[in-house]
């Protein structure tokens, strides 16, 4: 869309200042001194969904004070601990007029765990990590309730009698489960099973023609009916709009289920394009819902469906639909009034994804020392050189001994110099004169030394392409859109396409 980093930051600041610092007709964040809560302004209550969304937005935008205040409220008023019936879970609802529903809503648990892990890693806070690990443990080891069905490994609608035998596909967050399976200190095998089961369930939940999802469904993906007579649960109504954001996020963060996620994206984008982005609520097969025929396409849908476009960015046939969906999300104005809470926060989360500001905040790496002889990553070194490098998802302080001066080390510490997929963080060749810029179709590197190596990654470190500089102005054709890191010599450049 041609937006600069300045444009993007201005947009995100607008959303933050509106929903977190605005007046009583705009904000959903309410500061209470040492605590703060996110209010569902339509229902005058506090929900685990909104609290965990607020924490995720805060950690991604680097607002630690607001994050801590939200977590203080959640810990003091919502979180069950110390061996009680719901040990590890959160009350899904705190009524501001008094009273609470102590049972959980699993989307809250999912976002709480992920936000705490990101906060622990971003801000190097061991207490956040301890709290996250406590919740992760209790999702499997609470003495009575399990967050996931232990036969299917699919998240339950609620781990209570009568509600644990069906699901809500908008709780399917495979990207989060990937990280839980890697970072949880216990039950990693179980978390890994949920990754596969969740991707399968999300795909089965997408209608074969419309691509729509239903608010609640069975473990085989078919709609689950009879739960709510006022808002039919076997329809695409409220919860279900998040599914497009969930699989879009999984696509661009992990790319582990690309074929099916591309299929889901094409179907749901085609459906809403055909509807001219006019209506909000549908039967699973695309018919309008009785009594909701005039409900307009919402801001939350604009954001969530735009995230789904990640899966078709490289498909020229979808260029028009991609631009339309991105424009709808970008141009959407922050909501005011009573119904600003849900769609406003879903849209805010979507904008973090779309602008490259939703990041996997990883644990601080342990640096290992390694030594190789003469050549590394295709480069020949004529003098001893030390720099940092990634290899096999590990960070090394790497010493390359010159060819004339063999390394004094055993073979167990050597790195295979033929591994050309390694990402060098700091190269030995300084290229202070290099300039990196982009157009709609390419990235350009100017004034870099011919023969030196460059690497293009996404913001999560996933390598998109790497090669050698072959001319004074190196063109790198790239159809992908978004934010990228271009590493040239000992410098890293961020570019937007």
pLDDT of residue 275: 98
- Element at 254 (helix H, strand E): none
Average the pLDDT over 368-386 and give the result: 82
Nearest one of 161, 179, 285, 164 to 223, comparing CA atoms: 285
Pairing of strands 385-391, 423-424: antiparallel
pLDDT (tens digit, 9 = 90+) per residue, 438-479? 887 889 898 887 777 888 888 766 778 888 888 878 889 988
pLDDT (tens digit, 9 = 90+) per residue, 225-238? 876 666 677 899 99
Which of these is catalytic: 239, 250, 257, 458? 239
pLDDT (tens digit, 9 = 90+) per residue, 184-212? 999 999 999 999 999 999 999 999 999 99
CA angle 194, 196, 201 (to 5 degrees): 85
Strands (E), 280-325: 282-283
- CB–CB of 44/96 below 8 Å? yes
**pLDDT at residue 406 greater than cutoff 50:** no
**pLDDT at residue 411 greater than cutoff 60:** no
Average the pLDDT over 339-351 and give the result: 98
239 tagged catalytic: yes
Which of these is catalytic: 40, 49, 109, 172? 49
- CB–CB of 299/18 below 8 Å? no
Which of 126-130, 415-419, 492-496 has the largest mean confidence?
126-130
Q: In which band, very low, low, confident or very high, does the pLDDT at 433 lie, cut at 50, 70 and 90?
A: low
Q: What are phi and psi of 446, to 5 degrees?
A: -115, 145
- How far is the C-alpha of 205 from the C-alpha of 404, rounded, in Å? 62
Please compute Rg for the chain using Cα positions: 24
- How far is the C-alpha of 418 from the C-alpha of 420, rounded, in Å? 6
Q: Is 65 exposed, middle or buried (0-12, 13-18, 19+ CB in 10 A)?
A: exposed
């Amino acid at each position: 869309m041609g937006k600069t980093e300045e444009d993007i930051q201005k947009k995100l600041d607008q959303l933050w200042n509106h929903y977190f610092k605005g007046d009583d007709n705009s904000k959903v964040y309410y500061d209470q001194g040492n605590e703060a809560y996110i209010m569902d302004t339509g229902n005058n209550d506090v929900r685990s969904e909104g609290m965990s969304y607020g924490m995720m937005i805060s950690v991604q935008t680097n607002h630690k004070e607001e994050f801590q205040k939200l977590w203080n409220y959640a810990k003091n008023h919502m979180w069950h601990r110390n061996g009680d019936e719901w040990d590890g879970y959160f009350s899904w609802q705190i009524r501001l007029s008094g009273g609470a529903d102590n049972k959980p809503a699993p989307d809250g648990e999912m976002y709480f765990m992920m936000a705490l892990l990101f906060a622990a890693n971003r801000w190097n806070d061991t207490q956040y990590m301890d709290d996250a690990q406590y919740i992760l443990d209790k999702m499997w080891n609470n003495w009575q309730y399990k967050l996931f069905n232990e036969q299917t490994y699919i998240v339950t609608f609620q781990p209570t009698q009568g509600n644990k035998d069906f699901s809500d596909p908008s709780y399917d967050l495979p990207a989060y489960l990937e990280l839980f399976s890697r970072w949880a200190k216990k039950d990693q095998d179980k978390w890994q099973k949920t990754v596969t089961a969740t991707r399968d369930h999300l795909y089965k939940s997408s209608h074969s023609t419309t691509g729509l999802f239903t608010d609640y469904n069975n473990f085989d993906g078919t709609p689950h009916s009879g739960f709510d007579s006022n808002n039919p649960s076997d329809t695409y109504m409220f919860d279900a709009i998040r599914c497009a954001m969930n699989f879009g996020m999984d696509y661009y963060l992990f790319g582990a289920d690309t074929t099916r996620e591309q299929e889901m994206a094409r179907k749901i984008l085609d459906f809403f394009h055909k509807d001219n982005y006019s209506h909000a609520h549908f039967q699973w097969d695309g018919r309008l819902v009785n009594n909701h025929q005039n409900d307009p396409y919402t801001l939350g849908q604009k954001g969530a469906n735009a995230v789904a476009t990640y899966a078709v960015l490289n498909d020229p046939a979808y260029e028009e639909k991609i631009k339309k969906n991105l424009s709808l999300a970008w141009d959407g104005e922050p909501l005011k009034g009573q119904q600003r809470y849900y769609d406003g926060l879903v849209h805010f989360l979507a904008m973090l994804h779309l602008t490259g500001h939703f990041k996997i905040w990883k644990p601080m790496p342990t640096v290992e020392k390694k030594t190789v002889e003469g050549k590394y990553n295709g480069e020949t070194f004529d003098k001893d050189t030390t720099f940092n490098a990634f290899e096999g998802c590990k960070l090394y302080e790497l010493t390359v001994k010159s060819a004339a001066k063999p390394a004094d080390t055993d073979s167990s510490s050597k790195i295979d110099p033929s591994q050309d997929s390694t990402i060098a963080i700091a190269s030995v060749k300084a290229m202070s004169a290099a300039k990196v810029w982009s157009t709609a179709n390419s990235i350009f590197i100017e004034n870099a030394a011919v023969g030196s190596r460059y690497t293009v990654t996404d913001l999560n470190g996933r390598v998109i392409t790497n090669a050698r500089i072959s001319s004074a102005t190196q063109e790198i054709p790239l159809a992908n859109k978004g934010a990228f890191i271009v590493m040239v010599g000992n410098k890293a450049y961020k570019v937007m396409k």
